[in-house]
Structure 1
Amino acid sequence: MKRLVLLWCFITTSAFASTLNQWQGVPFPEFSLLDQHGEVRTNKDYTGRWLIVYFYPKDKTPGCTVEAQNFTDDYQLFKSLNTEILGVSYDDVDSHKEFADLYNMPFSLLADTEATLSKKLKVDRLLPWPHASRQTFLVDPSGKIVHHFAEVTPKKHSKELLQLIKKLNQSTKKSQDS
Protein backbone atom coordinates (compact mmCIF):
# COMPACT_ATOMS: atom_id res chain seq x y z
CA MET A 1 0.00 0.00 0.00
CA LYS A 2 2.84 2.36 0.88
CA ARG A 3 4.39 1.77 -2.55
CA LEU A 4 1.10 2.58 -4.26
CA VAL A 5 0.84 5.85 -2.36
CA LEU A 6 4.43 6.75 -3.25
CA LEU A 7 3.82 5.86 -6.89
CA TRP A 8 0.65 7.97 -6.97
CA CYS A 9 2.53 10.93 -5.41
CA PHE A 10 5.31 10.61 -7.98
CA ILE A 11 2.89 10.45 -10.91
CA THR A 12 0.76 13.40 -9.77
CA THR A 13 3.80 15.50 -8.91
CA SER A 14 5.39 14.78 -12.29
CA ALA A 15 2.18 15.59 -14.14
CA PHE A 16 1.77 18.84 -12.20
CA ALA A 17 5.39 19.87 -12.81
CA SER A 18 5.12 19.19 -16.53
CA THR A 19 2.03 21.39 -16.88
CA LEU A 20 3.81 24.25 -15.10
CA ASN A 21 6.71 24.14 -17.55
CA GLN A 22 4.88 23.17 -20.74
CA TRP A 23 5.38 26.66 -22.23
CA GLN A 24 8.97 27.31 -21.17
CA GLY A 25 11.22 27.62 -24.23
CA VAL A 26 8.30 27.51 -26.68
CA PRO A 27 8.08 30.31 -29.26
CA PHE A 28 5.18 32.63 -28.47
CA PRO A 29 2.38 31.95 -30.99
CA GLU A 30 2.03 34.33 -33.89
CA PHE A 31 -0.83 36.78 -33.54
CA SER A 32 -2.39 39.69 -35.39
CA LEU A 33 -4.92 41.53 -33.24
CA LEU A 34 -6.34 45.04 -33.03
CA ASP A 35 -5.43 47.24 -30.08
CA GLN A 36 -7.59 49.89 -28.41
CA HIS A 37 -6.69 52.38 -31.18
CA GLY A 38 -7.77 50.00 -33.96
CA GLU A 39 -4.14 49.36 -34.96
CA VAL A 40 -3.01 45.84 -35.86
CA ARG A 41 -0.37 44.47 -33.48
CA THR A 42 1.74 41.40 -34.24
CA ASN A 43 4.67 39.54 -32.69
CA LYS A 44 7.05 41.34 -35.01
CA ASP A 45 6.22 44.66 -33.32
CA TYR A 46 7.99 43.44 -30.17
CA THR A 47 11.08 41.63 -31.47
CA GLY A 48 14.20 42.44 -29.46
CA ARG A 49 12.30 43.36 -26.28
CA TRP A 50 10.96 41.51 -23.30
CA LEU A 51 7.21 41.11 -23.65
CA ILE A 52 4.61 40.64 -20.95
CA VAL A 53 1.38 39.25 -22.36
CA TYR A 54 -1.23 39.21 -19.66
CA PHE A 55 -4.67 37.75 -20.21
CA TYR A 56 -7.58 38.99 -18.14
CA PRO A 57 -11.32 38.27 -18.02
CA LYS A 58 -13.04 41.63 -18.60
CA ASP A 59 -12.43 45.36 -18.91
CA LYS A 60 -13.39 47.57 -15.95
CA THR A 61 -13.90 44.74 -13.44
CA PRO A 62 -12.23 45.04 -10.00
CA GLY A 63 -9.33 42.59 -10.34
CA CYS A 64 -8.64 43.51 -13.95
CA THR A 65 -8.62 47.20 -13.07
CA VAL A 66 -6.18 46.72 -10.18
CA GLU A 67 -3.84 44.68 -12.36
CA ALA A 68 -3.96 47.23 -15.20
CA GLN A 69 -3.44 50.17 -12.83
CA ASN A 70 -0.36 48.50 -11.32
CA PHE A 71 1.10 47.88 -14.79
CA THR A 72 0.37 51.52 -15.62
CA ASP A 73 2.06 52.73 -12.43
CA ASP A 74 5.14 50.60 -13.12
CA TYR A 75 5.22 51.15 -16.89
CA GLN A 76 8.32 53.40 -16.92
CA LEU A 77 10.22 50.82 -14.83
CA PHE A 78 9.30 48.15 -17.38
CA LYS A 79 10.36 50.42 -20.25
CA SER A 80 13.75 50.94 -18.55
CA LEU A 81 14.14 47.14 -18.63
CA ASN A 82 13.41 46.99 -22.38
CA THR A 83 10.00 45.49 -21.69
CA GLU A 84 6.64 46.04 -23.34
CA ILE A 85 3.25 45.05 -21.94
CA LEU A 86 0.18 43.72 -23.74
CA GLY A 87 -3.17 43.11 -22.09
CA VAL A 88 -5.47 40.63 -23.84
CA SER A 89 -9.16 39.89 -23.32
CA TYR A 90 -12.23 39.01 -25.38
CA ASP A 91 -13.49 42.60 -25.13
CA ASP A 92 -13.72 44.60 -28.36
CA VAL A 93 -11.70 47.64 -29.46
CA ASP A 94 -14.29 50.15 -28.17
CA SER A 95 -14.39 48.55 -24.71
CA HIS A 96 -10.58 48.50 -24.58
CA LYS A 97 -10.42 52.16 -25.63
CA GLU A 98 -12.81 53.20 -22.84
CA PHE A 99 -10.88 51.13 -20.28
CA ALA A 100 -7.44 52.36 -21.40
CA ASP A 101 -8.59 56.00 -21.57
CA LEU A 102 -10.27 55.84 -18.17
CA TYR A 103 -7.03 54.72 -16.47
CA ASN A 104 -4.47 56.37 -18.82
CA MET A 105 -2.91 53.06 -19.82
CA PRO A 106 0.27 53.59 -21.85
CA PHE A 107 0.38 50.04 -23.23
CA SER A 108 -1.76 48.16 -25.75
CA LEU A 109 -4.86 46.18 -24.95
CA LEU A 110 -5.54 43.57 -27.63
CA ALA A 111 -9.05 42.60 -28.67
CA ASP A 112 -9.06 38.79 -28.91
CA THR A 113 -12.77 38.79 -29.77
CA GLU A 114 -12.57 35.43 -31.56
CA ALA A 115 -10.37 33.94 -28.80
CA THR A 116 -7.73 32.92 -31.35
CA LEU A 117 -4.70 33.75 -29.21
CA SER A 118 -6.44 32.65 -26.01
CA LYS A 119 -7.16 29.23 -27.49
CA LYS A 120 -3.58 28.81 -28.78
CA LEU A 121 -2.30 29.39 -25.24
CA LYS A 122 -5.11 27.42 -23.58
CA VAL A 123 -6.33 30.32 -21.43
CA ASP A 124 -9.87 30.31 -22.86
CA ARG A 125 -12.72 29.54 -20.46
CA LEU A 126 -16.42 29.03 -21.12
CA LEU A 127 -17.90 29.23 -17.64
CA PRO A 128 -19.46 31.24 -16.11
CA TRP A 129 -19.18 33.14 -19.44
CA PRO A 130 -16.68 32.95 -22.32
CA HIS A 131 -13.51 34.75 -21.25
CA ALA A 132 -9.73 34.56 -21.02
CA SER A 133 -8.52 33.37 -17.64
CA ARG A 134 -6.09 35.53 -15.70
CA GLN A 135 -2.70 34.20 -16.80
CA THR A 136 0.54 35.81 -17.96
CA PHE A 137 3.35 34.86 -20.32
CA LEU A 138 6.80 36.43 -20.15
CA VAL A 139 8.47 36.33 -23.55
CA ASP A 140 12.20 36.95 -24.04
CA PRO A 141 13.62 39.28 -26.72
CA SER A 142 14.03 36.33 -29.12
CA GLY A 143 10.31 35.53 -28.92
CA LYS A 144 10.40 32.47 -26.64
CA ILE A 145 8.30 32.03 -23.54
CA VAL A 146 10.53 32.02 -20.47
CA HIS A 147 7.84 31.96 -17.81
CA HIS A 148 4.14 31.19 -17.59
CA PHE A 149 2.08 32.42 -14.65
CA ALA A 150 -0.94 30.13 -14.44
CA GLU A 151 -2.01 31.79 -11.18
CA VAL A 152 -1.95 35.56 -10.83
CA THR A 153 -2.63 37.85 -7.88
CA PRO A 154 -3.59 41.19 -9.49
CA LYS A 155 -2.24 43.37 -6.64
CA LYS A 156 1.23 41.78 -6.65
CA HIS A 157 1.70 40.71 -10.25
CA SER A 158 3.40 43.80 -11.68
CA LYS A 159 6.06 43.85 -8.94
CA GLU A 160 6.52 40.08 -9.31
CA LEU A 161 7.25 40.53 -13.03
CA LEU A 162 9.64 43.44 -12.42
CA GLN A 163 11.66 41.29 -10.02
CA LEU A 164 11.74 38.35 -12.43
CA ILE A 165 12.85 40.46 -15.41
CA LYS A 166 15.59 42.09 -13.32
CA LYS A 167 16.78 38.65 -12.21
CA LEU A 168 16.75 37.30 -15.77
CA ASN A 169 18.63 40.36 -17.04
CA GLN A 170 21.27 39.89 -14.32
CA SER A 171 21.77 36.22 -15.13
CA THR A 172 22.01 37.05 -18.86
CA LYS A 173 24.60 39.72 -18.14
CA LYS A 174 26.61 37.34 -15.92
CA SER A 175 26.66 34.66 -18.62
CA GLN A 176 27.79 37.23 -21.21
CA ASP A 177 30.57 38.44 -18.91
CA SER A 178 31.85 34.89 -18.39
Structure 2
Amino acid sequence: MGLKVGENIPQFSLEDQEGNIFDISAIKGKKPIVIFFYPKDNTPGCTKEACAFRDSYEDFTDLGAEVIGISSDSSSTHKRFGARYNLPFTLLSDPDGKVRKQFRVKGHLLNLLPGRETYVVNKEGKVVMVYNNMNASNHMEKALDALKGMK
Protein backbone atom coordinates (compact mmCIF):
# COMPACT_ATOMS: atom_id res chain seq x y z
CA MET A 1 0.00 0.00 0.00
CA GLY A 2 1.19 3.50 -0.82
CA LEU A 3 1.40 6.52 1.42
CA LYS A 4 -1.50 6.76 3.82
CA VAL A 5 -3.91 9.60 4.58
CA GLY A 6 -2.25 11.98 7.03
CA GLU A 7 1.31 11.27 5.89
CA ASN A 8 3.48 14.01 4.39
CA ILE A 9 4.48 13.56 0.78
CA PRO A 10 8.22 13.13 0.22
CA GLN A 11 10.51 15.77 -1.20
CA PHE A 12 11.40 15.05 -4.84
CA SER A 13 12.65 16.56 -8.09
CA LEU A 14 12.06 15.11 -11.56
CA GLU A 15 12.38 16.23 -15.17
CA ASP A 16 9.17 17.55 -16.74
CA GLN A 17 7.95 17.23 -20.33
CA GLU A 18 9.92 20.34 -21.30
CA GLY A 19 13.19 18.93 -19.97
CA ASN A 20 13.20 21.25 -16.94
CA ILE A 21 13.72 20.07 -13.38
CA PHE A 22 10.48 20.27 -11.40
CA ASP A 23 10.95 20.47 -7.63
CA ILE A 24 7.84 19.65 -5.58
CA SER A 25 8.97 22.14 -2.91
CA ALA A 26 8.01 24.92 -5.35
CA ILE A 27 4.33 24.14 -4.66
CA LYS A 28 4.26 21.86 -1.60
CA GLY A 29 2.94 23.83 1.35
CA LYS A 30 1.48 26.50 -0.94
CA LYS A 31 -1.50 24.88 -2.70
CA PRO A 32 -3.35 21.56 -2.96
CA ILE A 33 -1.77 19.02 -5.31
CA VAL A 34 -3.18 16.09 -7.24
CA ILE A 35 -0.48 13.57 -8.17
CA PHE A 36 -1.45 10.64 -10.34
CA PHE A 37 0.97 7.81 -11.04
CA TYR A 38 0.16 5.93 -14.22
CA PRO A 39 1.83 3.05 -16.09
CA LYS A 40 2.63 4.38 -19.58
CA ASP A 41 2.00 7.19 -22.06
CA ASN A 42 -0.18 6.47 -25.11
CA THR A 43 -1.79 3.28 -23.77
CA PRO A 44 -5.60 3.13 -23.80
CA GLY A 45 -6.18 3.29 -20.02
CA CYS A 46 -3.52 5.90 -19.36
CA THR A 47 -4.74 8.07 -22.23
CA LYS A 48 -8.29 7.83 -20.88
CA GLU A 49 -7.09 8.83 -17.40
CA ALA A 50 -4.94 11.74 -18.60
CA CYS A 51 -7.74 13.03 -20.84
CA ALA A 52 -10.21 12.86 -17.93
CA PHE A 53 -7.88 15.09 -15.91
CA ARG A 54 -7.51 17.36 -18.97
CA ASP A 55 -11.27 17.64 -19.49
CA SER A 56 -11.79 18.67 -15.85
CA TYR A 57 -8.55 20.62 -15.47
CA GLU A 58 -10.37 23.92 -15.00
CA ASP A 59 -12.34 22.41 -12.09
CA PHE A 60 -9.02 21.55 -10.40
CA THR A 61 -7.50 24.97 -11.01
CA ASP A 62 -10.70 26.67 -9.82
CA LEU A 63 -10.13 24.83 -6.52
CA GLY A 64 -6.54 26.12 -6.48
CA ALA A 65 -4.96 22.73 -7.16
CA GLU A 66 -1.97 21.74 -9.24
CA VAL A 67 -2.30 18.49 -11.26
CA ILE A 68 0.80 16.36 -11.90
CA GLY A 69 1.10 13.07 -13.80
CA ILE A 70 4.08 10.77 -13.19
CA SER A 71 5.24 7.71 -15.14
CA SER A 72 8.55 6.12 -16.07
CA ASP A 73 8.36 7.45 -19.63
CA SER A 74 11.04 9.89 -20.81
CA SER A 75 10.44 13.63 -20.87
CA SER A 76 10.46 13.56 -24.69
CA THR A 77 7.75 10.84 -24.70
CA HIS A 78 5.78 12.96 -22.20
CA LYS A 79 6.18 15.99 -24.46
CA ARG A 80 4.70 14.10 -27.45
CA PHE A 81 1.93 12.57 -25.29
CA GLY A 82 1.04 15.98 -23.82
CA ALA A 83 1.01 17.65 -27.22
CA ARG A 84 -1.02 14.88 -28.87
CA TYR A 85 -3.78 15.11 -26.26
CA ASN A 86 -3.45 18.81 -25.33
CA LEU A 87 -2.64 18.01 -21.71
CA PRO A 88 -2.43 21.29 -19.75
CA PHE A 89 -0.71 19.89 -16.65
CA THR A 90 2.82 18.85 -15.72
CA LEU A 91 4.03 15.39 -16.68
CA LEU A 92 7.09 14.14 -14.79
CA SER A 93 9.56 11.48 -15.86
CA ASP A 94 10.51 8.93 -13.17
CA PRO A 95 12.61 6.51 -15.27
CA ASP A 96 14.11 4.55 -12.38
CA GLY A 97 10.90 4.58 -10.31
CA LYS A 98 12.57 6.50 -7.46
CA VAL A 99 9.57 8.72 -6.69
CA ARG A 100 7.16 5.82 -7.26
CA LYS A 101 9.11 3.97 -4.53
CA GLN A 102 9.02 7.03 -2.22
CA PHE A 103 5.23 7.04 -2.52
CA ARG A 104 5.22 3.22 -2.09
CA VAL A 105 3.11 2.72 -5.23
CA LYS A 106 2.84 -1.03 -5.78
CA GLY A 107 2.99 -2.69 -9.16
CA HIS A 108 0.39 -5.10 -10.52
CA LEU A 109 0.55 -8.53 -12.20
CA LEU A 110 3.62 -9.69 -10.25
CA ASN A 111 5.08 -6.17 -10.57
CA LEU A 112 5.12 -6.42 -14.36
CA LEU A 113 2.87 -3.34 -14.62
CA PRO A 114 3.59 -0.15 -12.73
CA GLY A 115 0.69 0.73 -10.43
CA ARG A 116 -1.97 3.34 -11.03
CA GLU A 117 -2.45 5.45 -7.92
CA THR A 118 -3.76 8.96 -7.31
CA TYR A 119 -3.00 11.20 -4.33
CA VAL A 120 -4.68 14.39 -3.23
CA VAL A 121 -2.44 16.49 -1.03
CA ASN A 122 -3.57 19.46 1.04
CA LYS A 123 -1.87 22.85 1.22
CA GLU A 124 0.26 21.63 4.12
CA GLY A 125 1.70 18.75 2.08
CA LYS A 126 -0.30 15.98 3.81
CA VAL A 127 -2.11 13.22 1.94
CA VAL A 128 -5.90 13.61 2.24
CA MET A 129 -6.90 10.94 -0.30
CA VAL A 130 -5.33 7.86 -1.88
CA TYR A 131 -7.00 5.97 -4.69
CA ASN A 132 -5.35 2.79 -5.96
CA ASN A 133 -7.14 1.08 -8.81
CA MET A 134 -5.86 -0.16 -12.17
CA ASN A 135 -9.16 0.90 -13.74
CA ALA A 136 -8.42 4.39 -15.09
CA SER A 137 -12.05 5.51 -15.05
CA ASN A 138 -12.56 6.88 -11.54
CA HIS A 139 -9.25 8.54 -10.65
CA MET A 140 -10.19 12.04 -11.77
CA GLU A 141 -13.63 11.94 -10.11
CA LYS A 142 -12.22 10.63 -6.81
CA ALA A 143 -9.55 13.36 -6.81
CA LEU A 144 -12.02 16.13 -7.62
CA ASP A 145 -14.44 14.93 -4.90
CA ALA A 146 -11.61 14.88 -2.35
CA LEU A 147 -10.59 18.44 -3.29
CA LYS A 148 -14.16 19.66 -3.02
CA GLY A 149 -14.37 18.00 0.40
CA MET A 150 -11.37 20.02 1.59
CA LYS A 151 -13.20 23.35 1.05
> What's the TM-score, normalizing by structure 1?
0.77
Distance 1:155 1:163, change over 3 A: same
**Stretches of structure 1 lacking an aligned partner (at least 5 in a row):** 1-18, 170-178
Deviations 1:120-164 (A, max 9, x none): 112153857755310011111111111111225422321222122
1:160 aligns with 2:151: no
Distance 1:148 1:118, change over 3 A: same
Point out the more displaced range, 92-101 or 115-124.
115-124
**Stretches of structure 2 lacking an aligned partner (at least 5 in a row):** none
User: Quick one: percent identity of the two aligned structures?
Assistant: 34
Measure the CA separation in 1 of the matches of 2:79 and 2:51.
15
Residue in 1 that maps onto 2:26: 45
Residue in 2 that maps onto 1:84: 66
Instruction: Give the RMSD, CA atoms, in angstroms.
Output: 1.9
Contact map agreement 2:120 2:146 (CA 8 A) in 1: no
Alignment map for 1:108-123 (pairs within 5 Å): 108-123=90-105
Offset of 1:58 from its aligned partner?
0.4
Which of structure 1's runs of 4+ aligned residues deviate more than 4 A? 126-131
Offset of 1:42 from its aligned partner?
1.4
Measure the CA separation in 2 of the matches of 1:52 and 1:105.
15
Which of the pair has more CA radius of gyration? 1
Deviations 1:10-34 (A, max 9, x none): xxxxxxxxx58x6111110111000
> What's the TM-score, normalizing by structure 2?
0.90
Contact map agreement 1:51 1:83 (CA 8 A) in 2: yes
Q: What letter matches 2:70 in structure 1?
A: V
Alignment map for 1:15-164 (pairs within 5 Å): 23-47=4-28, 48-125=30-107, 131-151=113-133, 153-164=135-146
Q: What letter matches 2:26 in structure 1?
A: D
Name the structure where helix makes up a greater proportion of residues.
1
Query: Between Structure 1 and Structure 2, how many residues are aligned?
Result: 150
Tell me which of the two structures has the higher relative contact order, counting C-alpha pairs closer than 8 angstroms and 6 or more residues apart.
2
Q: What letter matches 1:44 in structure 2?
A: S
Offset of 1:81 from its aligned partner?
0.0
Contact map agreement 1:50 1:83 (CA 8 A) in 2: yes
Measure the CA separation in 2 of the matches of 1:166 and 1:126.
30
Offset of 1:106 from its aligned partner?
0.6
Deviations 1:54-105 (A, max 9, x none): 0000000000000000100111110000011110001111111110010011
